[in-house]
Amino acid sequence: MDYYLGIDLGTSSLKIVLADNQGRILGNSSSSFSIISEKEDYSEENPTDWLRAFDHAFSEILEKYPQIKENIVSISFSGQMHSLVMIDEKGNPIRPAILWNDVRTTEQVKQLKNDILPHLLSIEKNFPLEGFTLPKILWMMENEPENWQKVWKFMMPKDYLIYYLTDKVCTDYSDASGTIMYDVRKHQWDEEILKRFDIRLDQCPELLYSTDSAGVPTEQIKEKFNLTKNFAVIMGGADNACGALGTIDNIEEQGLISVGTSGVVLTYSNDSMNQVGKYHYFNSLIEGQDYKMGVTLSAGYSLDWFKTRFAPGEDFETLTKKAGESSIGSKGILFLPYLFGERSPYFNAKMSAEFVGMKAYHNDGDLIRSVLEGVAFSLKNVYQTMRDLSNKQVQKFRITGGVVKNPLWLQMFADIFNSPIEVLAIDEGPAFGALICAIHASTGQLPSEIWKKYNQVKKIYTPEKEAIEEYEVYYQKFKQLSDKMDASL
Contacts for 290-293: CB closer than 8 Å, 24+ residues apart? 290/184, 291/241, 291/244, 291/266, 291/267, 292/266, 292/267, 292/268, 292/386, 292/390, 293/240, 293/264, 293/265, 293/266
- In angstroms, the CA 292 to CA 299 distance is 19
Catalytic status, residue 239: yes
H or E element: which one contains 107?
helix 106-119
- Name the active-site residue from 20, 49, 102, 239: 239
Label residue 219 exposed, middle or buried (CB < 10 Å: 0-12, 13-18, 19+).
Answer: exposed
Asked if residue 121 lies in contact with residue 184, where contact means CB atoms within 8 angstroms, the answer is no
| DSSP symbol at 205 | P
- In angstroms, the CA 144 to CA 327 distance is 54
Q: Are strands 85-87 and 153-155 parallel, antiparallel or unpaired?
A: antiparallel
What distances in angstroms separate CA 291 from CA 294, 385, 406, one per listed residue?
Answer: 10, 14, 28
Give the list of residues 6+ apart from residue 175 with CB closer than 8 angstroms, or none.
Answer: 79, 81, 156, 158, 159, 237, 238
Q: For residue 153, report the phi and psi dihedrals to the nearest 5 degrees.
A: -145, 150
Give the list of residues 6+ apart from residue 61 with CB closer than 8 angstroms, or none.
Answer: 5, 16, 18, 27, 28, 29, 68
Closest CA to 82 of 51, 115, 43: 43
- In angstroms, the CA 309 to CA 3 distance is 46
Q: For residue 16, report the phi and psi dihedrals to the nearest 5 degrees.
A: -120, 130
H or E element: which one contains 195?
helix 191-196
Return the axis-axis angle of helices 407-417 and 364-390, rounded to nearest 10°.
40
Catalytic residue ranges: 239
